[in-house]
Amino acid sequence: DQQVKQNSPSLSVQEGRISILNCDYTNSMFDYFLWYKKYPAEGPTFLISISSIKDKNEDGRFTVFLNKSAKHLSLHIVPSQPGDSAVYFCAASASSGANSKLTFGKGITLSVRP
């Protein structure tokens, strides 16, 4: 039951270039999307989110784009830095009262080469 899909398991980019991490979802009830970053032996760290009423949200080097018709979102990191090397999870939520559980993708391992 892959409601949130991150089809590319890994991505390698040069320092200073753009990293684009993709995520697709199938559940049309999802209306809030989040990206988390995770280092080994640590918990997921919240990066950026977007509501379904928007198509773009920007925070510093991080921008998330949402294409609702395609059920696709992407995280852009510009410029990429070696410290960005981590696993990135896409997560989605259907805003249903107090529940709002997150459904996660499998994650993408980003490696930023110096």
Partner 1 sequence: EPEVTQTPSHQVTQMGQEVILRCVPISNHLYFYWYRQILGQKVEFLVSFYNNEISEKSEIFDDQFSVERPDGSNFTLKIRSTKLEDSAMYFCASMGTSARYTQYFGPGTRLTVL
Residues at the contact surface with partner 1, assessed by CB under 8 A: 32, 34, 36, 41-46, 49, 89, 91, 93, 95, 97-107
Helix, strand, or coil here: 50? strand
> Minimum distance between the CB of residue 14 and partner 1, rounded to whole angstroms?
28
> Minimum distance between the CB of residue 16 and partner 1, rounded to whole angstroms?
28
Residue 42 phi, psi dihedral angles, 5° rounding: -125, 165
60 vs 101, which CB is nearer to partner 1?
101
What's the one-letter identity of residue 24? Answer: D
39 vs 82, which CB is nearer to partner 1?
39
Cα distances (angstroms) measured from residue 96 to each of 11, 30, 41, 68, 99 = 34, 10, 31, 19, 6
